[in-house]
Structure 1
Amino acid sequence: MRPLKIGVLNVMHDKQATNERLTRVLTHSGQPVELHFYYPTLHYPQGAPAAVAAILSPLSITEAQTMDAFIVTGAPLEALPFSAITYIDEVNQLFDALAAAHVVQLHLCWGGMAALAHFYGIEKHLLPHKLFGVYPHKIVAETPLLAGLQDGFKAPHARYAEMDLAQIRQQPQLTLEALTETGDLLLVENHHAEQAFMFAHLEYGRKGLLHEYQREISTYPDRHYRQPENYFADPAHLAGPQFDWAATQAVFFDQWVAHVAEVVKTKGDK
């Protein structure tokens, strides 16, 4: 069987680390995959910096439509309106092209917010403070992507905004499948359109939240930032970050890759 072709629009701040994280989790199951990493061309109107061009290709909408699956990553932009994102038109064009070509889609964090807004008109609102830490979750609708996990499973979150839960519940095409125990979004799907919207940073390794926290406090040392909750064994010294979502990570990404393989097989059998 040929490798699965999976495209990734990488709009995270730490692009090299994001490539490495996604490569690790998408190859964990042993299923052969061929990964293609892209950047939005409108983000760099004068041309991508050498460090970006060395690891990402300029987004080709035509090429994206040939993929078996496509991922749009998160981005540290959730506090901004979508209209303020310089490359949002290109992202929306990508969304429409993937849908038209029936490509399996996985939208992560900000990518999920942008896709829900574009496809379904779901509104985004700022949270009172950043949802930042590792939290237990509950399953509210069964899905193969979480098969084998029990209520209380852990996942890491890192975002300043949330999508309107009531609007999601009112949209008949969407299935709300998992929330934190306090009601924050984890997973939404449109099964018919092969779209999954994951709001946790399940691709993060053990130190992912630590690195995000360090980036924020070093960028804006005059601001106060909340530490990630339920994460450090020794919060006073930012020591002992726990990898409590390792099982969730493996289940979700292994099942998603298996689902992509099944879709490809089904298409081939027709």
Structure 2
Amino acid sequence: MTTAPLKVGILNLMHDKVDTQRRFRHVLTRSARPVEITFLYPQTHYLSRPVPNLVKRISQPLELNQINQYDAFIITGAPIERLPFNKITYIDELHRLIDQLVKLNIPQLYICWGAMAAANYLYDIEKHQLPRKLFGVYPNHILNSSRLLTGLPDGFLAPHARYAELDYRQISAHPELILEATTVDGQLFSFRARNRQQYFLFSHLEYGRNALLKEYHREKNAHPNWDYAKPQNYFLDPIHMRAPQFKWQPAQQIFFDNWLHIVAQNKNTKYKVLVKE
């Protein structure tokens, strides 16, 4: 008997859309469990200009009346964490998407800026700017164990790349949220909703070996005269920025395997309920 694939929708908000799709396909299709991925884009992001041909070729417009077809949904990061939420052209569409995901009880994984936007909308958690970009590979400490972190040792390595952060105190004090892991300096790795299928991940665990280096060069090429932070704890030769190390590969595989397992269990539970009804 062939197992039906898990259908995962991904709202791709990243700058490097082709690389982002390649990365998510890699981390979500390595296991024996079949996964069918659909990449989408927010339609309101292109109201004042044509949708780029590349975007139309590799992804589909977000249709909120079709969200019920997915077994799980991911909202990616976006290089806009320094902008206020109300300045984002597609923020209302994003909120309507989140409402649909909550209404339909579809497991949600929010990543980096996606996690900031969702937590702000759902739980009023405030965003603030960091004094300098958090950029590099850092050990992360588990504060509260969870199914998502099962198999990860305390101090596991993961890549971080962001200019903003959510309010740690608000998250810790919120009765509906559970803080799971942070860096040694208290920067967020992940937290989850207590009674919903919602996970908020602040590390770009989907990144491959060269992704941090590519991100640095993209920013540097955009503004050659600006002083950009270099990724820390990443290169074998940090002085010359050579030989990037893929230190987070074990955490990457464990985390996404755990998430897919949770999604599959949720799908099976829904199916059993439907059969009983």
**TM-score, with structure 1 as normaliser:** 0.99
1:19-71 Cα shifts (integer Å, max 9, x gaps): 11001001122210110100000111133110110001010111123211000
Runs of 4+ in 1 over 6 A off after TM superposition: none
1:151 and 2:151 correspond? no
1:207 lines up with 2:210 in the alignment: yes
Name the structure 2 match of 1:23: 25
The answer to which of 97-106 and 25-34 deviates more is 25-34
Matches within 5 A, 1:60-209: 60-209=63-212
Compare 23-32 and 206-215 and name the one that shifted more. 23-32
Say which SS state the counterpart of residue 98 (structure 1) adopts.
helix
- Percent identity over the alignment is 50
Rounded Cα–Cα distance in structure 2 between residues aligned with 1:65 and 1:91? 16
Q: How far is 1:192 from its partner?
A: 1.8
In 2, the alpha carbon distance for the partners of 1:187 and 1:243 equals: 20
Match of 1:268 among 254, 266, 271: 271
Matched ranges for 1:212-231 at <5 A: 212-231=215-234
Structure 1 partner of 2:56: 53
SS at match of 2:58: coil
Matched position secondary structure for 1:86: coil
- Residue 41 of structure 2 corresponds to residue 43 of structure 1: no
Counterpart code for 1:40: P
* Residues 158-192 of structure 1: CA deviation (Å, up to 9, x unaligned): 00000001110111111000000110000110142
Distance in 2, Cα, partners of 1:78 & 1:226: 16
C-alpha offsets along residues 102-149 of structure 1, whole Å, 9 cap, x if unaligned?
A: 110000000000000000000000001000000001000011111111
Deviation at 1:151, TM superposition (A): 1.2
Question: 1:12 matched to which residue of 2?
Answer: 14
In structure 2, C-alpha distance between the alignment counterparts of 1:100 and 1:11, rounded to whole Å: 23
SS at 1:37 equivalent: strand
Instruction: Structure 2: give runs of 5+ residues left out of the alignment.
Output: none
Question: In 1, distance between residues paired with 2:222 and 2:229?
Answer: 14
Q: Which residue of 1 aligns with 2:244?
A: 241
Q: CA RMSD in A?
A: 0.8
Match of 2:4 in 1: 2
Q: TM-score, with normalisation over the residues of structure 2?
A: 0.96
Selected match of 1:252 from 232, 252, 255 = 255
1:132 counterpart SS class: strand
What residue identity is the alignment partner of 1:128?
P
Structure 1: give runs of 5+ residues left out of the alignment: none
**Separation (CA, whole Å) in 2 of partners of 1:209 and 1:52:** 23
Deviates more, 1:60-69 or 1:73-82: 60-69
Q: Counterparts of 1:47 and 1:39 in 2: how far apart (Å)? A: 13
